[in-house]
Amino acid sequence: MPELPEVDAVVRRLREAASSSTIHSVTIERPGNIAPQNPSTFRALHGAKLLNVRRRAKYIFIEFSNQLHVQVHLRMTGNLYVLPDYRFRPHNTRIWFRLKDNRVLIYEDSRALGRMHLVTREDIAATEAALGPEPLDAAFTPALLQTILHSVKSPIKPVIMDQRRIAGIGNIYASEALWHSRIDPRLSARDIPKRKITALHTAIQKVLGNAVVSAYAEYAQPGTTPESESFGVAVYGRKDEPCLKCKKSILRIVQGGRSTFFCPNCQRP
């Protein structure tokens, strides 16, 4: 599932391949991906020029000429990339933008859970206003993380995954960052001591920073979203396997409907 690093890589690749391209036509193969909008809505993009692509949390915002904007959320299996000829599009293509030079901007999505909408600048501002700070920005300091955590009673793991509090940390990297900073994922966010918050801040930036580097390599070529990331995980998905620090078995629990992996020996209150 694309998290912040993977979405970032998709955005960078798209910006490099498609900036300044002009849209010839848009074809919606699966209207479910743009619901509740109508395929005819996307005709507004015919003849528009792609000006910029950027990421905020796990959203992708594509800015076109004529004050037009497209918002994309890849969800589980979405991917966006440019192919050299529109006739090469794969069978899981849900939406495709034929470019004036006959290349094609593909939205591929095997599980078809992702969403693409035509939005206004005001819609984007409203979406962004509801999101927490970006964990890789300079403004995201240990002091800010402490303020965020000490305002909530809930267990730490779902709190750092809550996009309204911190934007862009998903399930895999949340488990990883808590393991690196030796924090029990079940501990109430407001009970995390200050020294552990500093460690968590370092771990979040390190884990995401490393993942961005490996995602850029992984997504260098157009094509299907990789099923497994090349980024080496320390705890995620390693139930019953030995902890890399202490050799005790990794546990799996469920928090907020999502799997959490942790070492009960290393990660204590």
Token pair of 44, please?
A: 């507004």
Question: Segment contacting Zn ion (CB under 5 A): 70-78, 111-119, 193-201, 258-266?
Answer: 258-266
Kindly name the residue from 12, 58, 103, 238 that is annotated as catalytic.
58
- Does residue 265 touch Zn ion according to CB under 5 A? yes
Q: Could you tell me the smallest distance in angstroms from the CB atom of residue 232 to Zn ion?
A: 17
CB-nearer residue toward Zn ion: 190 or 245: 245
Residues 146, 197: Cα–Cα separation, whole Å: 6
Handedness of CA 255, 258, 259, 260 (dihedral sign): negative
Q: Is residue 57 a contact partner of residue 71, using CB atoms and an 8 Å limit?
A: no
CB-count exposure of residue 95 (10 Å: 0-12, 13-18, 19+): buried
Stretch that binds Zn ion, among 32-40, 163-171, 193-201, 238-246 (CB under 5 A): 238-246
Residue 2 annotated among the catalytic residues of the structure: yes
Q: How far is the CB of 268 from Zn ion (least distance, A)?
A: 10
**Between 145 and 266, whose beta carbon lies closer to Zn ion?**
266
Compute the CA torsion angle 136, 215, 2, 117 (nearest 10 deg): 80
**Residue at token pair 């794969």:** 90
Is residue 49 within 8 Å of residue 21, measured between CB atoms?
A: yes
DSSP for 184-237 reads -TTSBGGG--HHHHHHHHHHHHHHHHHHHHHHHHHTSS-SSPPSS-SSPPSSTT
Closest to Zn ion by CB, 126 or 246:
246
**Residue 3 designated active-site:** yes
* Torsion from C-alpha of 74, 79, 82, 85, nearest 10 degrees: -120
Which of 74, 215, 243, 251 contacts Zn ion by CB under 5 A?
243
263 binds Zn ion, rule: CB under 5 A: yes
Among 23, 156, 204, 266, binds Zn ion (CB under 5 A): 266
Rounded to the nearest whole angstrom, what is the least distance from the CB of residue 174 to Zn ion in the complex? Answer: 17
3-state secondary structure of 129: helix
Our answer to whether residue 258 is catalytic in this structure is yes
245 binds Zn ion (CB under 5 A): yes
Nearest to Zn ion of 210, 265 (CB atom): 265
Strand partners, 118: 70
For the chain, the distance separating the N- and C-terminal CA atoms, rounded to the nearest angstrom, is 30
- 246 is a contact residue toward Zn ion (CB under 5 A): yes
Tallying the residues shown for the chain, one arrives at 269
The count of residues interacting with Zn ion (CB under 5 A) is 6
Residue, CB closest to Zn ion:
243
Nearer to Zn ion, 58 or 196 (CB): 196
Asked if 62 interacts with Zn ion (CB under 5 A), we say no
Residues that bind Zn ion (CB under 5 A): 243, 245-246, 263, 265-266
Hey, which residues are catalytic here? Answer: 2-3, 58, 258
